Structure 1
Amino acid sequence: MPRSVHTVAAENVSATLTVAVPAAGMFAVLADPTTHSAIDGTGWVQEAVDRAPLTEVEQIFRMDMYHADHPNGGYQVANKVHVLDPPRAIGWLTGYDPKGDGHLEFGGWFWRYDLARFGPSETEVTLTYDWSAVPQSIREYLQFPPFGPEHLSNSLHHLAELAAPTSRA
């Protein structure tokens, strides 16, 4: 079983896992929004609204979410790809459409996966959740991080299971 390591810094948390899957296979799973609910280590991500593969920086993809502490329970986020370097890195900012008019606002936190070749068919993948750009006005009502570091490790283990060649056959 692969072993994961997580670290918590001042305004980010990360986890790293080495798996016997080539980086291209890991990246393909991450670039498919329909897999994100299965990858999620918190259980909050429900379903991809926008199902097209992630292919360019600035691309928006929406996800249906659920959190018991959210005022509505169910809600939707709009993610904007801000890093896309196949098969080495992918990341997105999380935002929302507060007025329902298509004008998105982003809270200052992002998710990023970095994939490094580790041997002929292994990949070291690091997942980072960073909230360093979150303004004080948001920090007054949201706690960061909103989950423990084990959720990132859980996500990496889910990703490894999805990316394993036998699971996609």
Structure 2
Amino acid sequence: MTDENVNATLTVDVPVTRVFAVLADPTTHAAIDGTGWVQEAADRAPLTETGQLFRMEMYHDKHPDGDYRVVNKVEVLEPPHAIGWLTGTEKADGRLEFGGWIWRYDLTPLGPSGTEITLTYDWSAVPPYVREYLHFPPFGPDHLINSLRHLAALTEETA
């Protein structure tokens, strides 16, 4: 872990194309998450291009509203090797505001039926005013590996 990002790596016995397909499906993200914060996809279309927006229904007991919605913007899409998105909010007037953190998955094929998955959470672009009210990272050190284990289970059961 550095001061600005954290990552975890896990190897699964699933083809890289299957892992990528699961990650590109927003309806799987609640099952992958593992914190209970991600509730369900508000936008259910597969992720197919950079710049694409997708919204997720969320819950956090320390959020002022409990239930809330985030908007994500696909920043990295290199099928089947990498996918990543920025997370932000949509204001009442429709403006989008991204906080500066990105979730990124890098997938390395290990032959025809294995994949090494590296999940990186990077908050290096978070501006100072956001850091005044949000602590980074907002989860414990085991979160990323737990999330990868959930992804592994999901890809293995649907392979």
| TM bucket, shorter chain | over 0.9
Q: Does 1:127 align with 2:136?
A: no
Q: 1:151 — aligned with what?
A: 143
Render the CA deviation track for 1:3-58: whole Å, top value 9, x for unaligned.
xxxxx111001010001011100000000000000000211000000000000000
Query: What aligned pairs does 1:21-60 form with structure 2 within 5 A after superposition?
Result: 21-60=14-53
Whether the aligned pair in 2 keeps the contact of 1:14 and 1:149 (CA below 8 Å) is no
Query: What aligned pairs does 1:22-101 form with structure 2 within 5 A after superposition?
Result: 22-98=15-91, 100-101=92-93
User: Structure 1 CA distance, aligned partners of 2:36 and 2:143?
Assistant: 9
TM-score by length of 1: 0.92
For structure 1, the residue ranges without an aligned partner over 5 or more in a row are: 1-7
Whether the aligned pair in 2 keeps the contact of 1:16 and 1:125 (CA below 8 Å) is yes
1:15 to 8, 12, 16: 8
Q: CA RMSD in A?
A: 0.9
Moved over 3 A (4+): none
TM-score by length of 2: 0.97
Render the CA deviation track for 1:70-122: whole Å, top value 9, x for unaligned.
00001000000000000000000001013x22210000001000000123311
Q: 2:155 — aligned with what?
A: 163
Count of residue pairs brought into register by the alignment: 159
For structure 2, the residue ranges without an aligned partner over 5 or more in a row are: none
Whether the aligned pair in 2 keeps the contact of 1:79 and 1:93 (CA below 8 Å) is yes
